[in-house]
Structure 1
């Protein structure tokens, strides 16, 4: 069990990574062009876990979501999507919340993955 705050999540199963803009080593997507983008994450927690997560743009929160089902023997997905304007070389990532503690496990396996995705919306 962990009680971490302000920790960048690493999504190490990479399905599509055009131009290698996402780094599974530091959990960051480096924006390739000045444009409008969509970003989403889904974090799978076990039944004894709770946490809040933030989508970050250059270390500034642009969206957050919280999941609390502690003590119930179920799993949950905590999901958030944002649409943002970003400049070339901005870094987008997901982290545990900066001021709320995270407790428990984040799961990702063939039964259900935690995930992070980004896509270009507009030129």
Structure 2
């Protein structure tokens, strides 16, 4: 539609130039001026109106493009992978802080607090792999806004690992974290063998 309007404007401007040449010829003979040629005057006014409409149309397109960009936050990449820096003795409901950042696209995971904060609505995948230390038990939870969504444990007498996996729909600002189970006493998670991972699916 925009191209057809441009074609009309070009055609009208060609006609204006043609009429303008006639007026110049008439003026050189002392016969008339623009005011005495209503057809040319109408064409000029028509071109002005079309140029105004085209300008307004372009502004609307630019505005719509900006709106579309603002409405497509899901195109932003979000992914993190963090390592537990050293073995840590966990107490009741203590958040596990995976402090070594390996990947953190979008900066949604905080290596100082251990919290993942959803930057926008979407479907997310989370995984936690952990190793208990020596002969202790280890029972942990994957939490969404203080609600347990997955439970993990390692309970053999020797070194044992466990894992948790969850697919969650999050709203902007929702918090996901790994914490020690509140119903048990101190238990130790082994450093350098425990990871927390997550990414935006869509």
Task: Please report the TM-score for the alignment, with normalisation by the length of structure 2.
Answer: 0.53
Task: Please report the TM-score for the alignment, with normalisation by the length of structure 1.
Answer: 0.85
Question: What are the equivalent positions in structure 2 for 1:42-53 lying under 5 Å apart?
Answer: 42-53=129-140
1:43 offset after TM fit, Å? 1.4
Q: What is the CA–CA distance in structure 2 between the aligned matches of 1:31 and 1:22, rounded to whole Å?
A: 9
Q: Secondary structure at the match of 1:14?
A: strand
Paired residues in the alignment total 115
Is 1:116 aligned with 2:196? yes
1:3 offset after TM fit, Å? 6.3
Is 1:85 aligned with 2:169? yes
| Structure with more of its chain in strand, by fraction | 1
Q: Secondary structure at the match of 1:23?
A: coil
Indicate conservation of the 8 Å contact 1:50/1:102, yes or no: no
Q: What is the CA–CA distance in structure 2 between the aligned matches of 1:38 and 1:11, rounded to whole Å?
A: 17
1:36 matched residue in structure 2: 123
Structure 1 residue runs of 4 or more that deviate by more than 3 Å after TM superposition: none
1:75 offset after TM fit, Å? 1.4
Deviations 1:67-120, CA, capped at 9 Å, x for gaps: 111xx3x311110101111101111100001223342x21123xxx21101111
1:100 matched residue in structure 2: 184
Q: Secondary structure at the match of 1:20?
A: coil
| Structure with more of its chain in helix, by fraction | 2
1:23 offset after TM fit, Å? 0.7
Structure 2: 5+ residue runs without aligned partners?
A: 1-87
Q: What is the CA–CA distance in structure 1 between the aligned matches of 2:110 and 2:89, rounded to whole Å?
A: 24
Q: What is the CA–CA distance in structure 2 between the aligned matches of 1:11 and 1:2, rounded to whole Å?
A: 13
Q: Secondary structure at the match of 1:92?
A: strand
Task: Let me know the Cα RMSD of the aligned residues.
Answer: 1.7
